Structure 1
Amino acid sequence: MNSTELARLRAELRLARQHAHAADAERAETEARLLEARAQVLRAEARAARTHAETAGLRLAIDEARRLCEMTIDSSMRVDAVDQARDTLTVIDAAIAGDKPSPGDGAWHTVWLEGKWRWITSRMTTPEREHAADAVARHNAVLAAADNDPDRGEPEGLRWWRDAA
């Protein structure tokens, strides 16, 4: 073997080693990305488990509050206590049903009070009307609770399209 062939073989060996090192680096980076992805999945599973545990704990607390309210309603002689227990059950049921007030509810209530409700809602589809009316009713319920008037109910004429049918 002459010196030219030996130099060429050494160059090819260096090139092969560089290629092997580059392949090892790529493999290590791919494995690191895989481990990061697995860690993200495990973090997401942990968040879901924590949320489930919190939900279960809240459900137990709600069930206990409901049980105590029902016990008060069944056995208390104090009218105020019974009324308060019924109000508490109403709030619990509304929260579970998803009837929580939102900032948009106040806006729709203002439209109800200050706008031409019938004219505005006549330009909506029935589902849009129902959505707007539900928002007004939720906000009205919040105001009724603040006024200590839980029996107030929905404003008259709120769902005019039902009355017209």
Structure 2
Amino acid sequence: MTADETARLRAELRLAHQHAHTADAERAETEAQLLEARAQVLRAQAHAARTNAETAGLRLAVDDVRRLCQLVLDESARPYAREQAQDILTVIDAALAGDKPSPGDGAWHTVWLEGKWRWVTSRMTTAEREHAADAVARHSAVLAVADNDPGRGEPEDLRWWRDDA
């Protein structure tokens, strides 16, 4: 092998080593970017889990207050206590609904109009019944405004379980 061939082979070997090191560096950089992306996904999942935990805690507290208010409505002989409990329930419902009808309100209203309301709701918990009745009441209020009858109020016998107590 001549000196020129040896020099050419050494130059090619240096280029091959340089290319291998560059490829290793690019691979390491790509892997680091992938790990950063995975870390961002995990942070987002952790944030969502924390938010869900906070929401669940708030929902439990609201359900407890709602249950206590319902107990006062069902058991108290004091009109002021009953009125206050109903006011609290109204505030909770307004806060949770944001005074805006949801897309499901119309569906519940249809069940109220066309279905066997008492039968359907008799298979629910009280909280579920209240949720469904609140949806019907919200949609009824929207219809009442559309009919230019804002003082119409809730449909009669909507919350039948309260009457049976």
Report the counterpart of residue 21 of structure 2 in structure 1: 21
TM-score w.r.t. the length of structure 2 is 0.58
Partners of 1:66 and 1:45 in 2: CA distance? 31
Q: In the TM superposition, what whole-angstrom CA distance separates every residue of 1:60-104 from its partner, at most 9, and x where no partner exists?
A: 11110001111112222332222111110001111222227xxxx
TM-score w.r.t. the length of structure 1 is 0.58
Deviates more, 1:71-80 or 1:38-47: 71-80
Partners of 2:99 and 2:62 in 1: CA distance? 16
Report the counterpart of residue 107 of structure 1 in structure 2: none
Partners of 2:99 and 2:27 in 1: CA distance? 53
Partners of 1:17 and 1:2 in 2: CA distance? 22
Partners of 1:45 and 1:72 in 2: CA distance? 40
Q: Which sections of structure 1, spanning at least 5 residues, go unmatched?
A: 101-158
Report the counterpart of residue 32 of structure 1 in structure 2: 32
Is it true that 1:62 corresponds to 2:59 in the alignment?
Answer: no
How many residue pairs get aligned? The number is 106
Report the counterpart of residue 7 of structure 2 in structure 1: 7
The one-letter code of the counterpart of 1:2 is: T
Which residues in structure 2 correspond to 1:1-165 (within 5 Å)? Answer: 1-99=1-99, 162-163=147-148
% identical equivalent positions = 71
The CA deviation at 1:162 is 3.6
Provide the aligned C-alpha RMSD in A: 2.1
